[in-house]
Structure 1
């Protein structure tokens, strides 16, 4: 039976349209109806290895098309993939599509949304001096995006959307559709380290494309920039994807220059395409060279801020992976501007992007803006990221580490915690652990006790974090009784008893109360072996034998379980205990030689100790006790300055980052020469500190003043005191103790006056009077008569200081 032309067209379209569109009188394309027939045909012709849902990221008009194949975990568009569930009949059901269908049904029943009239678009096009033929494609793309978003927009927002569309070199949808399969093909090829399987999806460089490529390779910032600026919009649209795909595959460093040039003009590629390029480069090259990349005035950070400028962020159907890349890599000012623009323009925000803002501002220690970003979540109403969900709770825990206590309204309260409570966040145990730690950090034990009682009243079980906080506070206050109580509680719980962090803190507490300040009436050997007994509970003793700390014939006592290698903290505590209990120069030098050798060999337990200054400082303190140890002090600091002999990783593959001498290390070296009356060597140490830009701290200044006072160098002592004051360090009991070594304190007063006179002559302000601490009465000198004379001289200095 023959068919009329209309029947033939109808029968063919029925195979492409969804059931909703097959009824009579519905020939328009409903944006909410998924066209499965068209999707199958498109997928078979594209040759892509995985069929992905076009939509939110690429502004595709076929917004209802769902994913028909299994999701590839290495797809460059994971956030667009669907999540399949099974209904009661065992049929596969797309939960994402189901949710979107419900939203579309609600939108159909709701009042129609205000769309962007063609008349307004035509005015903007006319003002921009563009072709009138752009009205229809721009109108379609904008209005489909508005319908898909399902929310009314302000006139200002509609205007900005139109301008962004007009500034894109891709005014029609076809160019965007061609990008996605090509980008996905090279992305997967890079992930799996293979060639592109279906090369037919890759755009090829033709005559003009090859000519432009030569300009990019020869002079990207010069000739190519000029040529690109002179090209028409269709030529740019035709060439950009071909050049971008080729450069990403073959010359990623040059791809950065290409992006800088092509995004610097008014007509630029869509934000989504540029974001895809930078996501590709960031994923595969950031750690290798991209982090340190620099070209002229541009760094990778400034390139991200230029190419992904927040003022170019799409307002609807936003590519959030590009947003999050900007948030992670941009500067503090750039991220702050991005948040402001998002709020001003009403840019569509997902929960993941809002939490990315929270995390970045927390890293930048900007608590107020982190709270502003967190305030997006109640408005987004994502069920997966509710205010009491696990993901939000983790971000809040990290944010609470910035919390402080402030005096307000006649009482003391936290600054961040009340704002989180106002947002509807119910603090769980993890958050309360952070609050408890913050309470103890204030130095107010009562506040910490109140928080602890609050946790008990609300039924929060104590975990390892809780006990770590309680142990840390008790050790810092020197409350040995409280430490013993906590240790007994820990011993009753096997899981906590075997926790390495808890053990490390208990081990540190035992070191603090026994080995750090040994009782003169206690046998040092007993202290050392008591520390060794605790060490033996969890750690292997082999590293201690390799450092010659214990006799080779010593046998580790049997215990249940397998002992693992020691942590750097446990190993440091044993080394420090050894030096305090067995103070012999030959032991210290022999141990350092062995330590140095094992570190250079990349020993898995010894080598990580070079990443901090703690062990080096312990060796310095051991060396400085004898005059013959000064040479060892100098050699040790030289080893720290020249770490070329230290391997980049240990024998078990752990990366190593050797530390440079810290201000504490330099101060110990300086004190060693002062103690042994080597002023010339001490001056050379200060010269070396200046050469390496080492800033003096309070201890350094007191060490310098002590050296000058011992040498009876009055003018130098006065100058050091004044410089110490100028850098904001007050006179403390240690400073006053050093001044007691002066035989004629009144000369110091005269020198201070002379320095003030010189300051006045130069137009500078004299040193303001400082309050001398009352604790000077606790510092003893030689004889009572000499003390009275020195105190009399120091009293004259009080008004001057």
Structure 2
């Protein structure tokens, strides 16, 4: 039996070594000393009594073998230790590690039986951590936990750190209240409960006292108490207070986070982000977006609590930067991108696209392109440069593209740079490029882009035809519009597109109603537009607005709800074809009532000024409608300033166009006093005139033959940077004596310098009276220059012609 046991042990040891016997001829005859010792131990264990313990020796050898397999012993492996004198980030050095002296096989470098080992991961020495913490005034006792935590994160992420990154990572981890993994684990467990189930977690007596200070005066007594507390006391109370506030009084949590993150001993970055994520998900729309506390709002709350300078360098949760990017201001997001690049913080492709989206939203093209440069660096782990997500963000960025003239001719600004990065434009991107080309006002450029799309077999979709229709309508090319409508009618997938249908409907309004022929029948035009509307949309909203005549019998049409644009077009068509005061008054009363009730299709019209402007245009030609015009603008002012407690949309405030139409209504009806009252209302609401407003005012004074006011208005318009245009000259034709206007303007030109000179003299006199020292005497040359300037001024005033 003993012989059988020995053979069994020998065969097992031989089987363990068999995979290593492929080193070459004769290799099976050679065994290392460690293999022989293991075989002897196994042999001894089979022949020894069962109660004999050989475990210490086996455990020691097994431990040595596992250490030699798990940890590299190569002499060329570099490990970051920082054993040098560390006074600043630049002094953290790297040294080469040596082999483990306790490993009997490690020194046998010539042994060919040793298997290749995995390269060593980067690590930080405890000595370097202790010196960095000491330089920052942090207790060196935290060196063990900080080093262990950072090394674990480095091994997990496989991210080597430079000397500066070691310094920054150590400082950030050392300033954290919870440097051990246990604190973060406890937080995650408690936060999971409150986030999912909102379970109650009681506070201790000391925590209740602190909670009362948070409730009463968070920025005063609580702030003083918290700053005076020891680090361990803060760590003991912070989690319980945060969890309790999350569940019971989340409105107090922002002030609590600001106070506890502004001091040096900060909560863990992950814990702070979890609190802000909870608030953002559940309370942003309710009250958080309008939250104010002292000098802080929600934007500054995010910028303070999720400061990029506190972002972990190794294990950064990517959701936290994305929340910061979405909610922070422009300067803060710019600073975040700069810190990410300087510290080489690892961000995912989704975070890079979030940067790109935010800068595109802020119209910061340069930094949006800088954010896009992160995508090729993460292709192995995330999105590729030609993925759908990246292409959508590029399409959005191209909407900001402009055309510039360079040495090589006219070219876009953003598109060539995207092509240089490796972006290959698809049809969607080319649609945006086509739209940008037509926006430049150069039809030839748009035609070139269109030919490029055809040559590359890009199939035209609804966006393409919408762009072409928009360009043709803006240029008044009715033949081109008819051709496009014919092409759309031949493709079924385009005929049913709601955006194209709305654009076709708008083109009919432009060519048949807005610029109606003088010999056209308004009634026939209205019913033609009504029939076309009936083919596209449901006619019920028009019936509710009392626009449909009682005798009209609609044909079988579509049941699709109309868009706000379609409803606006039909309202404008009705008023341009039948603008009797009684009709306008009746429809506005019904419109006002439906908006107040929150009608799902009618109330969105109150979000813009277009519909209100159509009411004013229909009313201003009738003196009976002036009162209703004022009431309409007052309704807009009252409804836009009132707080809506229900879901009814807010009315838009009167725009400059709205005020101008109202002013023109009183001027055209020759009521100058009422027009002056409108000007006072405009001044009260800080409404500044534009060129159209000034032309309306000048037209009114010219019609009234008020020469002084006409001249004063022209001078005021020029002082605000507007010049006389053809519309101004057209208004001046109503003057019976235009020569008097130029005389009045010349008189104003003479009065203005005199008034300015008098004002300057008064100011000089005041300076002379209040001066404590006499004015210094001028030199001979300076006195001569002063006399020359005065002489030129007198000569110019004498040579000015008098009319």
Spell out the pairing of 1:84-95 with structure 2 (5 A cutoff).
Answer: none
**Alpha-carbon deviation of 1:8?**
14
Q: Which runs of 5+ in 1 are unaligned?
A: 12-20, 33-107, 190-194, 767-798
Contact 2:640 2:652 in 1 (8 A): no
**Alpha-carbon deviation of 1:765?**
14
Spell out the pairing of 1:490-501 with structure 2 (5 A cutoff).
Answer: 490-501=488-499
The one-character-per-residue Cα deviations of 1:419-442 (angstroms, maximum 9, x if unpaired) are 111110111111111111101100
The one-character-per-residue Cα deviations of 1:509-558 (angstroms, maximum 9, x if unpaired) are 01111111111222222211211121111212222233332322322112
Q: Distance in 2 between matches of 1:655 and 1:143?
A: 56
Contact 2:154 2:314 in 1 (8 A): yes
Partner of 1:683: 676
Partner of 1:163: 171
Contact 1:714 1:747 in 2 (8 A): yes
Quick check: 1:25 aligned with 2:97?
no
Partner of 1:519: 517
**Alpha-carbon deviation of 1:302?**
0.9
Partner of 1:96: none
Partner of 1:454: 452
Partner of 2:133: 125
In the superposition, relative to structure 1, how do residues 8 and 319 fare at CA in structure 2: closer, same or farther (>3 Å)? farther
**Alpha-carbon deviation of 1:693?**
1.7
Q: Could you state the TM-score of these two structures normalised by the residue count of structure 1? A: 0.79
Spell out the pairing of 1:539-578 with structure 2 (5 A cutoff).
Answer: 539-559=537-557, 562-578=558-574
Q: Distance in 2 between matches of 1:168 and 1:369?
A: 31
Partner of 1:776: none
**Alpha-carbon deviation of 1:303?**
1.3
Question: What secondary structure does 1:392 align onto?
Answer: helix
Spell out the pairing of 1:465-504 with structure 2 (5 A cutoff).
Answer: 465-504=463-502
**Alpha-carbon deviation of 1:4?**
5.9
Query: Of residues 198, 206, 216 in structure 1, which corresponds to 2:204?
Result: 206
Q: Which runs of 5+ in 2 are unaligned?
A: 1-49, 73-115, 760-800
Q: Distance in 2 between matches of 1:232 and 1:318?
A: 27
Q: Distance in 1 between matches of 2:268 and 2:758?
A: 60
Contact 2:325 2:333 in 1 (8 A): yes
Spell out the pairing of 1:98-137 with structure 2 (5 A cutoff).
Answer: 111-137=119-145
Q: Distance in 1 between matches of 2:265 and 2:456?
A: 60
Quick check: 1:259 aligned with 2:257?
yes
Question: What secondary structure does 2:391 align onto?
Answer: helix
The one-character-per-residue Cα deviations of 1:620-672 (angstroms, maximum 9, x if unpaired) are 1111111122122112212222228999599xxx7522112111111111111
Q: Could you state the TM-score of these two structures normalised by the residue count of structure 2? A: 0.79
Q: Distance in 2 between matches of 1:111 and 1:280?
A: 42
Matched residue pairs, number? 669
Partner of 1:411: 409
Quick check: 1:349 aligned with 2:347?
yes
Contact 1:623 1:633 in 2 (8 A): yes
In the superposition, relative to structure 1, how do residues 544 and 420 fare at CA in structure 2: closer, same or farther (>3 Å)? same
Contact 2:694 2:713 in 1 (8 A): yes
The one-character-per-residue Cα deviations of 1:760-796 (angstroms, maximum 9, x if unpaired) are 3455999xxxxxxxxxxxxxxxxxxxxxxxxxxxxxx
Contact 1:435 1:451 in 2 (8 A): yes
Partner of 1:279: 277
**Alpha-carbon deviation of 1:609?**
1.7
Query: Of residues 587, 590, 596 in structure 2, which corresponds to 1:591?
Result: 587
**Alpha-carbon deviation of 1:27?**
6.3
Q: Distance in 1 between matches of 2:173 and 2:754?
A: 67
**Alpha-carbon deviation of 1:152?**
2.8
In the superposition, relative to structure 1, how do residues 589 and 139 fare at CA in structure 2: closer, same or farther (>3 Å)? same
Contact 2:353 2:390 in 1 (8 A): yes
Contact 1:600 1:646 in 2 (8 A): no
- Worse overlay, 713-722 or 157-166: 713-722
**Alpha-carbon deviation of 1:292?**
0.6
Partner of 1:714: 707
Partner of 2:155: 147
Partner of 2:749: 756
Quick check: 1:250 aligned with 2:243?
no
The one-character-per-residue Cα deviations of 1:251-289 (angstroms, maximum 9, x if unpaired) are 111111111111111111111111111111111100000
Identify which of structures 1 and 2 has the higher relative contact order when contacts are C-alpha pairs closer than 8 Å and 6+ apart. Answer: 1
Partner of 2:324: 326
Q: Distance in 2 between matches of 1:167 and 1:244?
A: 19
In the superposition, relative to structure 1, how do residues 741 and 226 fare at CA in structure 2: closer, same or farther (>3 Å)? same
Q: Distance in 2 between matches of 1:341 and 1:628?
A: 65
In the superposition, relative to structure 1, how do residues 307 and 761 fare at CA in structure 2: closer, same or farther (>3 Å)? farther
**Alpha-carbon deviation of 1:352?**
0.9
Question: What secondary structure does 1:563 align onto?
Answer: coil
Contact 1:403 1:414 in 2 (8 A): yes
The one-character-per-residue Cα deviations of 1:537-582 (angstroms, maximum 9, x if unpaired) are 12122222333323223221124xx422222111111111112222
**Alpha-carbon deviation of 1:144?**
2.1
Query: Of residues 223, 230, 233 in structure 1, which corresponds to 2:231?
Result: 233
**Alpha-carbon deviation of 1:385?**
1.2
Question: What secondary structure does 2:264 align onto?
Answer: coil
Q: Distance in 1 between matches of 2:492 and 2:320?
A: 47
Query: Of residues 350, 355, 358 in structure 1, which corresponds to 2:356?
Result: 358
Larger radius of gyration: 2
